[in-house]
Structure 1
Amino acid sequence: MLHRSISDVKGVGEKLQSQLNDLGLFTVEDLLFYFPHRYDSYEVKPLTELTHNEKATIEGEVASEPVLSFYGRKKSRLTFTLQVDHFAVKAVMFNRAFAKKQLNQGDTVTVTGKWDQQRLQITVSQFKKGESKSQEPIQPVYTLKEGVNLHTLRKVIKTALEEFGGEVPEILPEDLALAYKLPGRTQALHQMHYPETRVMLKHAKRRFIYEEFLIFQLKMQLLRKHNRESTKGHIQEYNNNELTSFVQSLPFELTSAQKRSLAEILKDMKSPHRMNRLLQGDVGSGKTAVAAIALYASITAGYQGALMVPTEILAEQHYHSLAEMFEGRANVALLTGSIKGKRRREVLEAVEQKEIDILVGTHALIQDEVVFQSLGFVIVDEQHRFGVQQRRGLRDKGLSPDVLFMTATPIPRTLAITAFGDMDVSVIDEMPAGRKPVDTYWVKGEMTNRVLSFIQKEIDQGHQAYVICPLIEESDQLDIQNAIELYNQLSAVFEPKVSVGLMHGRLPNEEKEEVMQQFSANDLNILVSTTVVEVGVNVPNATVMVIYDAQRFGLSQLHQLRGRVGRGADQSYCILLGDPQGDVGKERMRIMTETNDGFELSEQDLKLRGPGDFFGKKQSGLPDFKVGDMVHDYRALETARKDAAEMIMENTLEEDERYKTLREYVYRDKHLLGNVLD
């Protein structure tokens, strides 16, 4: 019944139907579950309970004759004083000249608008004469498009609730609803649209947050089960003696966290199921070493390996470090977009002939022309930078290769396990011995000259410095213009004694490579760059990272940039230059100076910015939840994950009759997982 057309709702004619279709509403069910994005409540509160800059409703007596003034073309401003308890509040109304005749000294009036705590002033958006009713209803506010107004949409939804609300099926089994004290689905639906009280609204939201998280988690668990059962992986019988010899040849001792993660990966490789694992660890925690050992294990088992990274610079760096690591043990080749012509043909042929053991590259690796003879192990670095389809493209090239995703963005474990519900997660949460924490300072813009003197001092001691130019959101062009201006300024200050280089995303790859090689070889003392250096590049001699306008960056990005220094034996420094205006910016600077722990930072970043940072929402395949928020409601998300895992493991979703309606919803609502189940 709920799948019937929206035109079956009383009062919806052809024109309104078309307008509602533009909002993505086609069926009665779409309409019933089109939840408000906020609620307006005109509850009168005492001045002491109002929040600065928030919407508020107050009631008082007009204590002065309203004064009307005009400015600009047809623009007016009406001001009067409102006596509220013992306070005189200034009320301002724009472009409401007619109100002058309606408001008289001595009138009682209720006004709603933006509250300014400092000035004791309210900018009025709505007013009505007389006292407010003691129980003003909480009004739903929906997202609208041109054509449908709020009043019409409220009316249509109310009609749909009255006509069809009783047909909404209950999909949660009774035991779950009771365990979490959740209201029934029909009751919760009514409260979402027309809440009787704030408390009832809160419980209705709680109900739908859990419901949509549970459906999402059940899909993830089913996907995980399907992947494990349908894709028989290779049992990789690697040569333990050769692997031990390789590990012993490395110039460093593995940390216990590296050993633990490696053991988990090797166990997956020996199992008959295809590996689908996320390896996460902080900048410099040694993920690449673990990945290299796993690659080598696969080679000793007779397979080829692939490493896919997001940028050419990073691909080249990984290629050089792996070639050095595997010298005499394995053949490593590089394939990026800028390798063309004869050289490209040679690499492709060698891969197909299995003369290449490990192929390193950018997303060039997933093009059809790349043919592996026996691809057994795939590593995708900085996996959140690739779309789901790109990741799958590489995975599907081989005969069910084991796949390891790596990220240096330390996603809080709860969120990682929950968001990547179809993956196993390994965490390297320990730094190699002897690695000194980077000293981090926040300084205001007026101290720039002192910062430049500090850079000079470090260069005099034979060290190098990165200088990151301000980030202009959404504008690659402005980023580059900024970088060039900063490069010119610093060249004027430091040259000719000190050499300054420039790096940005629009430079041809050959030039980027050349600049990085000059910096690596210490032919350049200072590298001015946009955030293209954020991922990867390893220059142990660089001890200073200066970030201009640091308040423009998120914590995770600042931490990634800071991770470019502190890679050698010398003490390193990160200087955040910035004059943040808001509290969030100041808090970000404070947190950066207090901790080097990426996991702690990512928890804070989630609170300040939300999960979009980690998952690149457009690409991640994660759904846009209607009510739930993965960060704010992560406890509910974790509970739903635990419940979903139990249902799948114990087969209750499939076999228990009480779960029949929930099962139907899980299998039909494919859109909830975006493109993951395509």
Structure 2
Amino acid sequence: MSKQDWAVYHALKQPVTTLKGVGEALAEDLSLLGIKTIEDLLFHFPYRYDDCRPKDLAEVGHEETVTVEGTVHSEPVLRFYGRNKARCSFKVLVGRYLITAVIFNRPYVKQQVKVGRSIRLTGKIDKHRLQLTVQHYQWSDTASNKGEETLLPVYSVTGKLKVAQLRKWMKAALRDYAAYIPEMIPQSLLTRYKLLPRPEALRKIHFPKDYEEGKQAKRRFIYEEFFLFQLKMQALRKRHREQVEGIPQHYDQQKVENFIRSLPFELTAAQRKALDQILHDLKSPFAMNRLLQGDVGSGKTVVAAISLYASISAGYQGAFMVPTEILAEQHYLSLKQFYRNENIQIALLTGSSTPKERREILAGLQLGTIDLVVGTHALIQKDVYFKNLGLIITDEQHRFGVEQRRQLRRKGAAPDVLLMTATPIPRTLAITAFGDLDVTVIDELPAGRKKVETYWVKEHMLDRVFRFMQNEIDQGRQAYVVCPLIEESDKLDVQNVIDFHAKLCKVFPQYRIGLLHGRLSSAEKGKTMRRFAQGEIQILVTTTVIEVGVDVPNATLMIIYDAERFGLSQLHQLRGRVGRGNHQSYCILIADPKTEAGIQRMHIMRSTHDGFEVAKKDLALRGTGDFFGTKQSGLPDFKVADMIRDYRALEVARKDAQALIQNPSFWTDEQFGLLRTYLEEQLGTGEKLLD
């Protein structure tokens, strides 16, 4: 980067206290908003604008915020009250209306008010009393107010900060630092999409002369946010491919096809397509880094089993990591069934493994006599070594932290990695959230799978729900009952598993009723789940601990109490615990939602069964932050861009970033120096991306 570029880049890094009027106390309040430097301030965008274009009072409603122009018609009256509080009022003739203007806590206004002076006022109008509570005013005869903005930005503030202060500092920052604002988008892309230059866009997003200017400025920053994030994701992908050189796994294609034909069912077209992508990656010289997502029951496990079979047939070992012991045991049994006619040695390693079992498994993995290990976090412990680890599969990958997945990867020499999730994410969003991964989607359910019939009832219909449950169990079926809490809460009026378990034991003394929640030990949870899977327990009262992965084909009824307290995607995951066998299954939502969003969720669950469609609607209701949860998701905190509303811009930005990263000139040409510096800072490498 040139010296001039460095000067530009670092000018904006000066502390915000550099600006006149920003003292240490206000700087602390600003820091709570993430504003510590001049650059932070400039990119603290308004969330709306006050429209200061004058309006005819006849056309506005009662208590509407309005801007009017008029002439002072009376001398001001200033009154002090309370502690350091003031109220200044005076009459203003606005068209044919004589209104009272009231300005609080600005006593100096009295000196400015002169009868006959022209004024523009913005505030809330009381149409009954013809009184305007003034938020902002300006004198039309003052030179400094000529050409004042018609749209005033409104910013998020905290502590003792005032919006008016932020406006003042923003003007000063734009005036003094506009020359230092670097352009981050290549000129070719600015021209192609007719985007405003960055300094101009900053001025216009803060102080637009009309809504069209503000719209164009916002359009530019929506693209910029997506472009810079995608540039980071594509750089990560490039670095992974170049630094993590994979080992081509030359599996026997015919053996794999024979194995597929031996399965007791046909693969769906979506499963076949996903498998082709994974098998291609196994043979590739690059280490696979792929996300496989599919709705509950879409058949991800069999795709994983075939992929592991291919890797093992090429002479490598496989590791299958899952978040719970229940799920680990279930996958272990499923894989043993898949490989029952194959010479494949499988082991199960969890926290419940005995010391003797653990020693034997660790030795088998190190010697290579064990081909595949299924386990929990136990797989990433320091004393676990593999002879020749080729493929790692992580199920419900969002349950593991980034570092945990990285630790497992270090167990081999650049093994291929497949992450699986049953939490459907719309493809566009998946590409953004996991931009450094290749994304594969299984968007088709196996033939013959019946939809789970879903009903929404109020609590007063509980007796009918119990009769329906009794009918199902008397036919030999089993039921889940999910409650949001473990114990009674003083703060939340919602059902809890302990109380509801006791209630069901009284209502159905003839049935075996189990209790499952997160405070039980792993051994207790495992024992309860095994008893339910084997049919010894007929009704399982549980928290969302059973949300993921549990497969009991004989369970045909899912009852979710206080269903309005769950998100759409979570409700869909819980519903996916039933409908896994040959019998018709049902999901009953017991809810009395008090909000419009809660009512919408119930209607969506009744009418929508496709997980990806549910996810889209969940995103629309909750937004991406709530949908993904905490910062672990890796999603940036976009200021103006919205991945649902602006998905077209997202797709365009991804393609542009991908093309730039793959262009050799990007890594050497001086015009891209600032972007390379940005990437080095974002990726936290502490080193140049290209030596």
Please give the TM-score of this superposition, normalised by the length of structure 2.
0.82
Equivalent position to 1:639, from 644, 649, 652? 652
Structure with greater Cα Rg: 2
Relative distance call for 1:128 and 1:238 in structure 2 (3 A) is closer
Relative distance call for 1:652 and 1:414 in structure 2 (3 A) is farther
* CA distance in 2: counterparts of 1:9 and 1:261, whole angstroms: 55
User: Is the CA contact 2:483–2:495 (under 8 Å) kept in the aligned structure 1?
Assistant: no
How many residues align structurally? 638
Return the letter of the residue paired with 2:194: K
More off after superposition, 273-282 vs 583-592: 583-592
Relative distance call for 1:513 and 1:297 in structure 2 (3 A) is same
* CA distance in 1: counterparts of 2:227 and 2:643, whole angstroms: 12
More off after superposition, 645-654 vs 406-415: 645-654
Return the letter of the residue paired with 1:204: A
Query: Are 1:9 and 2:18 counterparts?
Result: yes
Query: Are 1:159 and 2:145 counterparts?
Result: no
Return the letter of the residue paired with 2:417: V
User: Is the CA contact 1:9–1:159 (under 8 Å) kept in the aligned structure 2?
Assistant: no
Query: Are 1:491 and 2:505 counterparts?
Result: yes
* CA distance in 1: counterparts of 2:459 and 2:473, whole angstroms: 22
User: Is the CA contact 1:330–1:357 (under 8 Å) kept in the aligned structure 2?
Assistant: yes
Return the letter of the residue paired with 1:9: T
Query: Are 1:576 and 2:586 counterparts?
Result: no
User: Is the CA contact 1:375–1:398 (under 8 Å) kept in the aligned structure 2?
Assistant: yes
Structure 1 residue 275: deviation in Å? 0.7
Equivalence for 1:436: 450
What does residue range 326-475 of structure 1 map to in structure 2 within 5 Å?
326-327=339-340, 329-339=343-353, 341-470=355-484
User: Is the CA contact 2:16–2:35 (under 8 Å) kept in the aligned structure 1?
Assistant: no
Structure 2 unpaired stretches of 5+: 1-6, 70-93, 96-101, 108-118
Structure 1 residue 346: deviation in Å? 3.1
Structure 1 residue 180: deviation in Å? 1.7
Structure 1 residue 654: deviation in Å? 3.2
Return the letter of the residue paired with 1:185: R
What does residue range 105-144 of structure 1 map to in structure 2 within 5 Å?
137-144=150-157
User: Is the CA contact 1:36–1:141 (under 8 Å) kept in the aligned structure 2?
Assistant: yes
Identity over aligned pairs, percent: 55
Equivalence for 1:612: 625
Equivalent position to 1:559, from 572, 575, 581? 572
Structure 1 residue 497: deviation in Å? 1.4
Q: Which deviations, in whole Å up to 9, do the C-alpha atoms of 1:399-425 show, x marking residues without a partner?
A: 100000111111111221233222212
Equivalence for 1:276: 289
Corresponding residue SS for 1:547: strand
Corresponding residue SS for 2:579: coil
Equivalent position to 2:324, from 307, 311, 332? 311
* CA distance in 2: counterparts of 1:672 and 1:122, whole angstroms: 63
Equivalent position to 1:630, from 643, 653, 661? 643
Relative distance call for 1:42 and 1:506 in structure 2 (3 A) is farther
* CA distance in 1: counterparts of 2:130 and 2:598, whole angstroms: 27
Q: Which deviations, in whole Å up to 9, do the C-alpha atoms of 1:249-280 show, x marking residues without a partner?
A: 32222112111111111111011111111111
User: Is the CA contact 1:500–1:526 (under 8 Å) kept in the aligned structure 2?
Assistant: yes
User: Is the CA contact 2:52–2:122 (under 8 Å) kept in the aligned structure 1?
Assistant: no
What does residue range 240-255 of structure 1 map to in structure 2 within 5 Å?
240-255=253-268
Structure 1 residue 201: deviation in Å? 1.6
* CA distance in 1: counterparts of 2:486 and 2:46, whole angstroms: 33
Equivalence for 2:110: none
- For the aligned residue pairs, the C-alpha RMSD in angstroms reads 4.2
User: Is the CA contact 2:454–2:586 (under 8 Å) kept in the aligned structure 1?
Assistant: yes
Structure 1 residue 152: deviation in Å? 3.6
* CA distance in 2: counterparts of 1:51 and 1:423, whole angstroms: 53
Query: Are 1:517 and 2:548 counterparts?
Result: no
Corresponding residue SS for 2:578: coil
Relative distance call for 1:634 and 1:121 in structure 2 (3 A) is farther
Return the letter of the residue paired with 2:436: D
Relative distance call for 1:599 and 1:454 in structure 2 (3 A) is same
* CA distance in 1: counterparts of 2:431 and 2:305, whole angstroms: 24
What does residue range 225-240 of structure 1 map to in structure 2 within 5 Å?
225-240=238-253
* CA distance in 2: counterparts of 1:128 and 1:10, whole angstroms: 23
User: Is the CA contact 2:483–2:561 (under 8 Å) kept in the aligned structure 1?
Assistant: yes
User: Is the CA contact 1:305–1:357 (under 8 Å) kept in the aligned structure 2?
Assistant: yes
* CA distance in 1: counterparts of 2:505 and 2:149, whole angstroms: 65
Structure 1 residue 215: deviation in Å? 1.4
* CA distance in 1: counterparts of 2:592 and 2:56, whole angstroms: 36
Structure 1 residue 285: deviation in Å? 0.7
Relative distance call for 1:56 and 1:453 in structure 2 (3 A) is farther
* CA distance in 2: counterparts of 1:577 and 1:228, whole angstroms: 49
Return the letter of the residue paired with 1:33: F
Structure 1 residue 306: deviation in Å? 0.8
Q: Which deviations, in whole Å up to 9, do the C-alpha atoms of 1:507-536 show, x marking residues without a partner?
A: 111111111111112121111111111101
Corresponding residue SS for 1:630: coil
Query: Are 1:285 and 2:298 counterparts?
Result: yes
Q: Which deviations, in whole Å up to 9, do the C-alpha atoms of 1:313-366 show, x marking residues without a partner?
A: 211211222233223522222222343534333332332222322121222322
